[in-house]
Structure 1
C-alpha cells in the first residue's frame, strides 16, 4: 500500500518579533506544500531490507539496511506510535552516527538534522520495517515559510496513516483528512521532529501546517481562526540568509535601551494583529465590502512593516521589494525574522494578471524568487494508492 501525505507551509501575517514581547501574532497556512510518499515493502520486494529516503528536489538518496539500524539501536527503546516523546541524547548520538555514514555533500550538510529527524520519526512510528520514502516540496528551504515543519507534518501523517493508531476510510478517492484527535497526535510527533531540527521551536509552524487555516497566538496560547474571505499573496524570497537568533536579540536590546518607545511599538503591533483577525474573520456580503476589507488589510500591512522597520529588522533587499511593489500601488511587509528572508505583497481580488506579471518580472530582475500563494488553506491531507 502506498500512502501520500501533504502539509502546507506557513507565513506570519502580522506580529512577528513583537510576539516575543507579549503581542498578538497571526500565522496562516499557504497552498505551497511538502509531499511525502511512503511505500512499505516486504523484505522480498526490498531485497536486503532497506530503508530509503529520496529527496527528489535535491537529487539525493539515502539508504540504510534495517540490519545496520538494528545494530546501532540495539540497546535503545523507542516509544509507542500513540505516545510521542523526545529523542533522548543517547538515541540522538546513535541516529547521528547513521546519518554521518551517508556522507552528505558539504554543500548540503545543513540537511543532516532533517535526515536525523526523519530516522527518529520513522523508527518511532513504523519500527524497523523496510520502505521507500520520497519527499518533494514547493517550499524554499530556510526562507521562513515553514519548510521543515511541513516536512515533519507530512512525514508523520504518512507514517501514522500506515500504523494501527489511526483510522481512515480507504474507499474515497482524493485527499482525506484525519479527525481532530489524530491531528493532535500528528502535531505532537511533528513537534518532536522540529525539536531535533531547530532545538527550541515555538510549535507554531507545525501547528499551522497540521491544522491549516490561521492561528492567532499570544503568550503561548494558540487559537485557530478561519478566514471569511479569499486572500492571495505574492511571496518574494530575497534569498538573503539571516540569523534569526541575532535578529530577535537585536530587538530585545533595542527594547532595553528604549523601553517606553518600544513598549508602544509592541502595543501598536498587538492592535494591528487583533484588527487583522477581526477583518479576515468577518463575513463578506458583496464586492464593495471585499474592496473595503482589502484596503484595510493593505493599510495594516503597511503599518506593521513600518513598526518592523522601527524594530531594526528590515534589510536593503526587503526595502528593494517594498519600493518595487509600491510603484504598482501594492502593499508589502516582511514575514518572519526579517533581515532578508521573504516579503509578502497583498494581491487584491480584482488586480489584473498583467500587473502581477509586471511586478514579478521586475522582482526577478533583482535576483529574487517569486511565488503566488493562497492563504488559509487546509492543513495535513492524506491520499492512498494512485488517487489524488
Structure 2
C-alpha cells in the first residue's frame, strides 16, 4: 500500500515536583521539555522498510517479503487493541535476534519500531514500503523521556501514514495537532512502545510526549493542566550514572525504617506539588508576577531539601545548586536523582549574561547544559518549512 509522507515531533519530559513521593501515592507534576524528537516518514517503492536512528548510529532495513510471514496468525489484533501481542513480540525477537533479556537502547528502539509498524500496517492489503528517520535533541538514558518521545513520534507518524488518524496540517499551517480522540489513540500506541522498552512504565512519559504542557499524576490518574504558562529553565545533565531501581528502593527502606520521620516529608512534597499547581493556575489566570516567581523558587528550594532528606541527592547536584544560587538562580534535581539531571528556573528578567556565565561554570564542571523551556506543546505534525534547516538536513540525509 502507499503511505502518506509526514514530519512529526514530540517533546521530552521532566518532573517539576513529586518525584519519589509519587511512588507512595502523592501528587507529581510532569512537564514537557522544549527539547524534541523529530521523525520523517517517507513512502518508497523499493519494497523495503528502513529505520534510520543517527543518534544511536543505527541504520537498518528489511525486505517486506521477509516481514510479511511474521503476521501469519496475528491478524486478529485490531488497531484499537491496547494490550501487547506477546506472540508477535516473540516472533520479532527471534527474527531480529534480540534476546529476551536485552535492554540496550538500540535493540529496544528497533523492536518497538518493528512491532508498531507491523501492528499498524498488518491489517492493510499489503505492508507499506517506507523509510523512517528519527533524530532527537534529547540525550538517552538521562531520565528525560527520550524513549517516550521516540514512541510518540512513531505512533503519530505510522498512524497518520496508514490513514488511521488524519493529517491535521493544512497548506496554510507550519504545525498542527490532532483531535483529542486521535491524540488518545496516539498515546495508547506510544504506551505499547514504552511497554516493549521498559516493561511496566507508568504512562507519564508518553502522556507528556503526547499532550505536552503540564500533567498532574496521582495514583495512576493523569490529568493535563489547562492554560499553564511556559517557563524558561536551564536543564543540566550531570552525566553521573544512577540506578532508578536502587534509588526508589532506598527511599522505601528509609520510609520503613523511620516512618514517623519520612511520612511527613512525603506529605510536605505532596503539598509542594499542589501549591505549585495552584501558583501556575494563578499565573495563567492573572498573568505572572514577581511574587509568583518568588513562590516557584521557594518551592524548588524546599523540594530539593526534601529530596536530599530522602537520600536521593548527590554531590554533583549540590554543585549545581551552589553554582546557580551564586547567580541568584534556584535549582533542584529532576527524576530519580543520585546524579542525573537538574532544572534551574529562569525568571523573565534574568539577564542573558547571567545565564551565559552560569552555563559556562556548569560546563566547566563537566556538565551538559541547555537553555530551554517547560510547558510547550506535545506531539505535532509539521511542514518541512517549519523545521529548522539543520533538523531538516539531518532527517532528509538518509
The answer to whether the superposition gives a TM-score over 0.5 is yes
Give the equivalent residue in structure 2 for 1:119: 114
CA shift, 1:87, in A, is 3.0
Give the equivalent residue in structure 2 for 1:368: 367
Are positions 1:13 and 2:12 aligned together? no
CA shift, 1:301, in A, is 0.3
Give the equivalent residue in structure 1 for 2:291: 292
| Cα distance between partner residues in 2 of 1:281 and 1:242 | 34
Q: Are 1:82 and 1:165, in contact at CA under 8 Å, matched by a contact in 2? A: no
CA shift, 1:170, in A, is 4.9
| Cα distance between partner residues in 2 of 1:38 and 1:140 | 22
How many residue pairs were aligned? 377
Please give the TM-score of this superposition, normalised by the length of structure 2: 0.90
Give the equivalent residue in structure 1 for 2:29: 26
CA shift, 1:168, in A, is 3.0
Give the equivalent residue in structure 2 for 1:237: 237
Cα gap change, 1:380 to 1:98, in 2 (>3 Å): same
Gaps of 5+ in 1: none
Please give the TM-score of this superposition, normalised by the length of structure 1: 0.92
CA shift, 1:242, in A, is 1.2
| Cα distance between partner residues in 1 of 2:273 and 2:19 | 10
Give the equivalent residue in structure 1 for 2:390: none
Matches within 5 A, 1:197-212: 197-212=197-212
Q: Deviations over 1:133-189 (max 9, x none)?
A: 000001000111100001000110011112232223453331111000100000000
| Cα distance between partner residues in 2 of 1:170 and 1:190 | 21
Give the equivalent residue in structure 1 for 2:96: 99
Gaps of 5+ in 2: 388-398
Q: Are 1:78 and 1:123, in contact at CA under 8 Å, matched by a contact in 2? A: no
Cα gap change, 1:78 to 1:352, in 2 (>3 Å): farther
Give the equivalent residue in structure 2 for 1:328: 327
Give the equivalent residue in structure 1 for 2:38: 35
| Cα distance between partner residues in 1 of 2:163 and 2:263 | 50
Q: Are 2:56 and 2:106, in contact at CA under 8 Å, matched by a contact in 1? A: no
SS at structure 1 position matched to 2:162: coil
RMSD: 2.1
| Cα distance between partner residues in 1 of 2:192 and 2:225 | 24
| Cα distance between partner residues in 1 of 2:19 and 2:270 | 10
| Cα distance between partner residues in 1 of 2:285 and 2:156 | 37
